[in-house]
Structure 1
Amino acid sequence: MQVSLIGINEAATTLKLLGDKTRLTMVKILDSHDCCVCEFVEIFKTSQPAISQHLRKLKDLGIVKETRRGQWIIYSLNKKSEYYPLVQNILQHLPNQDFKLNELEEQGLRITCE
């Protein structure tokens, strides 16, 4: 399988975007689970506009994508992105973040936006 290379500028932009702890954690969670904004609001205990801003930046670069399910927008990792190989390489070195979603579920706060 041939991996397409991205330029230094694109790599720097991607790394800068993932240099934010909240965005990096979001991307790690999205590596194994699709989520909506409301779940991230609960996980990070921050406002919906702040979460939406993080997701917009990730979406603008193509790292995440959104899918509409009824009135809800569900975010997932964009595995077709030209940046995905770089992102995937970074994510494999990070600890699993599933416990954050499990905590939400245990607290009855895991939202099923369907």
Structure 2
Amino acid sequence: MRVSTVEIEKAAAILKLLGDKTRLTMVKILDSNDCCVCEFVEIFKTSQPAISQHIRKLKDVGIVRETRRGQWIIYSLNKDNDYYPLVQNLLQHLPNQDFKLDELEEQGLRITCE
């Protein structure tokens, strides 16, 4: 599917999901870094179930995918998704969020699940 044939309904659903500040920030972070739930818990100072719910919604529309590394699940942006060009276009207008991961690293909390 080419970007020009993106279904309006699906695009609207994706944009609605990304209308949430936490999910939008997660996707921006995942644009340049793979992360586990525990890192998002620390970044957003929220519960693991809440973070998992955000991830599940992003996975359901195919924006995010998961990879198993040992017993841990690592999340990344699904760049093979038909709607990735739409997401990428939006993300290029947002400020880099890597400093959030840098702060975690300084605190010794980067990938706390390994």
Fold-level similarity (TM above 0.5):
yes
Unaligned runs of 5+ in 1: none
1:8 paired with 2:8, answer yes
Q: Is the 8 A contact 1:4 1:82 kept in 2?
A: no
Aligned to 2:20: 20
One-letter amino acid matched to 1:61:
V
4+ runs deviating over 2 angstroms: 2-5
TM-score, scaled relative to structure 1 = 0.95
Unaligned runs of 5+ in 2: none
Aligned to 1:61: 61
Q: Secondary structure at the match of 1:67?
A: strand
> Structure 1 residues 3 and 9 mapped into 2: Cα distance closer, same or farther (>3 Å)?
closer
User: Residue 113 of structure 1: CA displacement?
Assistant: 3.9
String of CA shifts for 1:54-82, please: whole Å, max 9, x gaps. 00000010000000111100000000001
Q: Is the 8 A contact 2:3 2:86 kept in 1?
A: no
Q: For residues 70 and 59 of structure 2, what CA distance do their matches in structure 1 show?
A: 20
Q: For residues 110 and 85 of structure 1, what CA distance do their matches in structure 2 show?
A: 29
String of CA shifts for 1:74-93, please: whole Å, max 9, x gaps. 00000000110000000000
Q: For residues 113 and 63 of structure 2, what CA distance do their matches in structure 1 show?
A: 22
TM-score, scaled relative to structure 2 = 0.95
Q: For residues 4 and 66 of structure 1, what CA distance do their matches in structure 2 show?
A: 27
What do you get for the CA RMSD once the two structures are aligned? 1.2
Q: Secondary structure at the match of 2:5?
A: coil
- What is the number of equivalent residue pairs in this alignment? 113
Q: For residues 113 and 66 of structure 2, what CA distance do their matches in structure 1 show?
A: 13
Aligned to 1:79: 79
Q: Secondary structure at the match of 1:35?
A: coil
Identity of aligned residues (%): 85
